[in-house]
Amino acid sequence: MKMLQQASRLSRVWIPGGGIAASGTEDGYSKLIRAGYLRPSHSGIFHLLPLGRRVQEKVERLIARHMEESLAASRVSLSSISAEALWEKSGRLQNVASELFRFSDRKDVPYLLSPTHEEEITSLVARTVNSYKDLPLRLYQITRKYRDEFRPRHGLLRSREFTMKDLYTFDSDRQSALETYAKVRSAYSAIFSDMKLPVLAARASSGDMGGDLSHEYHLPTPLGDDRVIHCDSCDYVINEEIAESATSKEIIAGEELGVWRGISKDRSTLVNVWYPRRTTLPGGKNEREYTDMDIKISAVKSLVSDLDTAVGDATPLWSTAVSGPIRTAKRLVSIADSRIPSSLLQQVRSGLLEDIVWPARLESPLPSFPVTVYDGSEAVDMDLNLLRIRTGDHCPECSSGVLKAERAIELGHTFHLGTRYSAPLGATIAVPQKKTNTPIEMGCYGIGISRLIGAVAEHMADDVGLNWPAIIAPYSCVIIPRKQSDEADATKVYRHIIGASTTSKERLDVVVDDRERTLPWKLNDADLIGFPVIIILGREWHISRRVEVQCRRLGMKGLIEMERLAYVVDQLYRDL
């Protein structure tokens, strides 16, 4: 039998700003602030308030349970401070230097605030693990991370201080490491399934992290920085950056070319990207038109690594770079799509230093700059298919599938690292029948907890307020008495639910709203906060001892007898 307990009460929780009316169009981040979950502290840095902390604690508990029960991982807590010397040794320091918070101690030893912990965990294991008999080893942590984002935005979706879960795995050989990778992917699927989130697991580039196998876990949202391509017929799901271009079989129709202009972050390089305005499939079918919005920016960035992807039209900036008081212009880069015929490519090449490349509205004389040309004939290790995949394109992996392209926010990432860090940092083991020690096979697996909270807020909020999966809501159910004299009855309802419910303690989290406010105010605030289930002791409670149960996300609203209340709440939780 469940122990009856003193009712949790909202009057004992600090919730600043409750009941404030919305102003204009409001996104999920604005609702988090208005509902009292968090407050901005500095650019890209936030204070979590009690409601926000409750959500984060529930996300952490859910993830920790899967790490320990599904993967037998041990929890550690690594220091937020890392030595620059380790990052130099791994070869990563210069690649990510611009995003690091760096400082020196009183002895001028250089340190940094860790954006991730591959170097530190590898160094730790290198000092403690010597034999294959010590493996496999799974270590995870949930901790704050730091990244000096160039443009913090969208609240928790792109911040400079954030909370992450890291799992680091160590195996004696590649096969074992790949088996571990598959187990972690299953655990991730279970985590997002418990939260009932429509997460897409997409094949992805390993980037600066290293390794040759990785997947990203994306929640579709218009605010996402990534574009994910997925098929409606097969399991083809992939990040746009590495997706096979669905336009690769198309041919150019006509001789009209478009040019998109980009610029480097330091304003020293103008980038001209040439693409066909119209294409058709072989046989002249399915003619398509393209504009600057269809440029695959990731393909351009692979050739011009310091491209400023936030700039849509570089012409005004380049004008300043050429003729402004501080002249930063140094170089021109011209990139042409592989499908442009050689006859047109020749025109592009011959016109590099004429008005067709140089923005016509620049009034200054045409300076002489070094010019780099990529047109598919250069050794660039990629097909220059510069046009994005679009919804409706055909799947490259099945004959009947149609692709959908949508923006999404990355919630997690899994990497098989191989020996990317163990080799340079000396994490090796003795294995039978080998004369020298062998580098440990590693994997790293992250989930952005702060970002997940922000993404869920954006994805599930409606015009009324926030909506939370029951398992991570600050409280899964709120009981609202009509007036202060009904508080004793509200406590009875609370104890009845706690005592009669069959829902696990992890999901059952009921609170009584005993704040000295009117019933309409409390109802509005309950919708804004996003309690999954609302129980109201209204007029009908005094007439027939029935409570009103509301679940906005499931569209449920009805009067329920006390005898059935716990059962109804249990059924709602199963769908939330």
For 229, other C-beta atoms within 10 Å of its C-beta total 27
Same domain, 476 and 453: no
| pLDDT given for residue 276 in this prediction | 84
Q: In this structure, is residue 99 part of a structural domain?
A: no
Per-residue pLDDT reduced to its tens digit, 354-374 = 444 444 444 444 455 566 767
Same domain, 317 and 411: no
Q: In this structure, is residue 106 part of a structural domain?
A: no
Residue 300 in tokens: 């351009």
| pLDDT given for residue 19 in this prediction | 55
For 344, other C-beta atoms within 10 Å of its C-beta total 18
Q: In this structure, is residue 70 part of a structural domain?
A: yes
Q: In this structure, is residue 103 part of a structural domain?
A: no
CATH number at residue 190: 3.30.930.10
Question: What type of residue sits at position 424?
Answer: P
| pLDDT given for residue 153 in this prediction | 84
Same domain, 498 and 559: yes
Same domain, 178 and 233: yes
Task: Give the domain range for residue 194.
Answer: 30-78+115-243+404-457
Same domain, 50 and 171: yes
Q: Which residues of 325-337 are buried (b: 16+ CB within 10 A; e: fewer)?
A: eeebbeebbbbbb
Same domain, 419 and 480: no
| pLDDT given for residue 362 in this prediction | 45
Residue 461 in tokens: 């909020």
Same domain, 229 and 278: no
Which of residues 374, 395, 416 is at a domain's end?
A: 374
Phi-psi category of residue 418: left, alpha or beta, with phi > 0 → left and psi -120 to 50 → alpha: left
User: Could you tell me the mean pLDDT of each successive run of 10 residues in the chain, 576 residues long?
Assistant: 65 81 80 94 95 97 96 97 94 88 95 95 95 95 93 89 97 95 96 94 82 90 87 89 66 75 89 83 69 86 86 84 82 81 68 46 51 58 74 81 90 95 94 87 96 95 93 95 84 88 77 92 94 94 92 94 92 89
DSSP secondary structure, 320-370, as one string: HHHHSSS----EEEEEE-TTS-HHHHHHHHHTTTSTTTS-TT--S------
| pLDDT given for residue 4 in this prediction | 43
Q: In this structure, is residue 225 part of a structural domain?
A: yes
- Residue 343's Cβ-count burial label (10 Å; 0-12, 13-18, 19+) is exposed
Do residues 546 and 560 make contact, with C-beta atoms less than 8 angstroms apart? yes
| pLDDT given for residue 325 in this prediction | 84
Per-residue pLDDT reduced to its tens digit, 542-561 = 889 999 999 999 999 999 99
Same domain, 321 and 415: no
Number of domains making up the chain: 3
Only one residue has tokens 């040019």, namely 259
d(CA 286, CA 428) in angstroms, rounded, equals: 56
Q: In this structure, is residue 23 part of a structural domain?
A: no
CATH number at residue 499: 3.40.50.800
Which of residues 441, 457, 473 is at a domain's end?
A: 457
Q: In this structure, is residue 158 part of a structural domain?
A: yes
Same domain, 428 and 533: no
Same domain, 60 and 204: yes
Same domain, 157 and 216: yes
d(CA 365, CA 353) in angstroms, rounded, equals: 12
- Is residue 136 reached through a cis peptide bond, with omega within 30 degrees of 0 on the bond before it? yes
**Which DSSP symbol is given to 98?**
G
Q: Which residues make Cβ contacts (< 8 Å) with residue 354, sequence separation at least 6?
A: none
Do residues 493 and 535 make contact, with C-beta atoms less than 8 angstroms apart? yes
Q: How would you write 257-277 as a 3-class SS string?
A: EEEEEEEECCCCEEEEEEEEC
Same domain, 482 and 558: yes
Question: What type of residue sits at position 434?
Answer: K
d(CA 9, CA 396) in angstroms, rounded, equals: 56
Q: Which residues make Cβ contacts (< 8 Å) with residue 208, sequence separation at least 6?
A: 92, 95, 96
Do residues 15 and 3 make contact, with C-beta atoms less than 8 angstroms apart? no
DSSP strand pairing (477-481 vs 510-512): parallel
Q: In this structure, is residue 398 part of a structural domain?
A: no
Residue 25 in tokens: 């169009």
